[in-house]
Amino acid sequence: MKRRDFIRMAGLGILGLAFVGCGEETKPVASTPVPSAGGVAAGITPSAEAAAHNGGKKILVTYFSRKGDNYEVGYIEKGNTHIVADIIAQELGGVDIFEIKTVKEYPADYRECTEEAKAEKARDARPELAAMVKDFAQYDTVFLGYPIWWSDLPMPVYTFLESYDWQGKTVIPFCTSAGDNMTGLEDRGIPRYAKGAKIKGEGLGLRGKSVQDNPEAARTKVRAWLKKLGYQQ
């Protein structure tokens, strides 16, 4: 291998570590279009039985995820964080689920997406979202999922956090990346943008490749995490 080829491959590996991830009784929550947004996904609020099962709390599982060419896993039709969000919703039972989507889609090409995300982070951008959660006030607890992009939350997640009144709500973060870790910004960062919210327990970080390759192993980890947080079937 020529020296310049080795350097290029090493660079791609470092880039991948910095940027990764660019059912049953689960219901898509009704959404409200924002200006320039597209269609609306119909949904139903959680049942009284589901709320009772989850400690009387109305729960929303929301996530930002990305399809297309991803680090370590190649081209995927369902994002790593999307898979984890579905597992969480299924394990909780009877909760609503909402996907955070941007009006402008990110490039399907991995390298192009990383560069766009890097530029957004540099200017602290707030990408426009395609839809808003309908009746956000009804939820007590929000499970918030995202991939780690450039050692941070993706900028659309900050748009989401700044779009609602979080007073009295609990946020439980989860993410996917090149390893089983969080960004380290959650405890102080999320409440800064989600005004009035508090973080509950430890977040869950899962390796994106592991989620894609063995979703049942990911389910086992999610189940143990939820049990530790006090949520059990």
119, 63, 40, 43: CA torsion to nearest 10: -170
At CA 195, angle to CA 190 and CA 199, rounded to 5?
45
Model confidence band, residue 55 (pLDDT cutoffs 50, 70, 90)? low
Tell me the C-alpha to C-alpha distance, in Å, between residue 151 and each of 10, 55, 93, 156, 166: 18, 33, 31, 15, 24
Task: Kindly tell me if the per-residue pLDDT of 123 is higher than 90.
Answer: yes
Q: What is the number of other CB atoms lying within 10 angstroms of the CB of residue 178?
A: 19
Whether residue 156 contacts residue 127, with contact meaning beta carbons closer than 8 Å, is answered with yes
Q: Please report the pLDDT score of residue 29 as a whole number.
A: 73
Task: Kindly tell me if the per-residue pLDDT of 143 is higher than 50.
Answer: yes
**Around 131, how many Cα atoms within 13 Å sit in the side-chain half-sphere?**
21
Q: What is the pLDDT of residues 69-82, one digit of tens each?
A: 998 999 999 999 99
Task: Kindly tell me if the per-residue pLDDT of 44 is higher than 80.
Answer: no
The residue that leads in pLDDT, 51 or 229, is 229
Average pLDDT, the chain: 84
Domains of the chain: 3-229 (3.40.50.360)
Query: Which two structure tokens, joined as six digits, stand for 200?
Result: 């509950």
> How many whole angstroms separate alpha carbon 60 and alpha carbon 46?
9
β-strand partners of 184: none
Most confident of 4-18, 152-166, 181-195: 152-166
β-strand partners of 75: 69
> How many whole angstroms separate alpha carbon 12 and alpha carbon 79?
20
Phi, psi of 125 (to 5 degrees): -70, 160
Q: Please report the pLDDT score of residue 185 as a whole number.
A: 87
Average pLDDT (2-29) is: 48
Q: Please report the pLDDT score of residue 19 as a whole number.
A: 63
Q: What is the pLDDT of residues 163-220, one digit of tens each?
A: 999 999 999 999 999 988 999 989 888 999 999 999 998 899 999 999 999 999 999 9
At CA 67, angle to CA 155 and CA 220, rounded to 5?
95
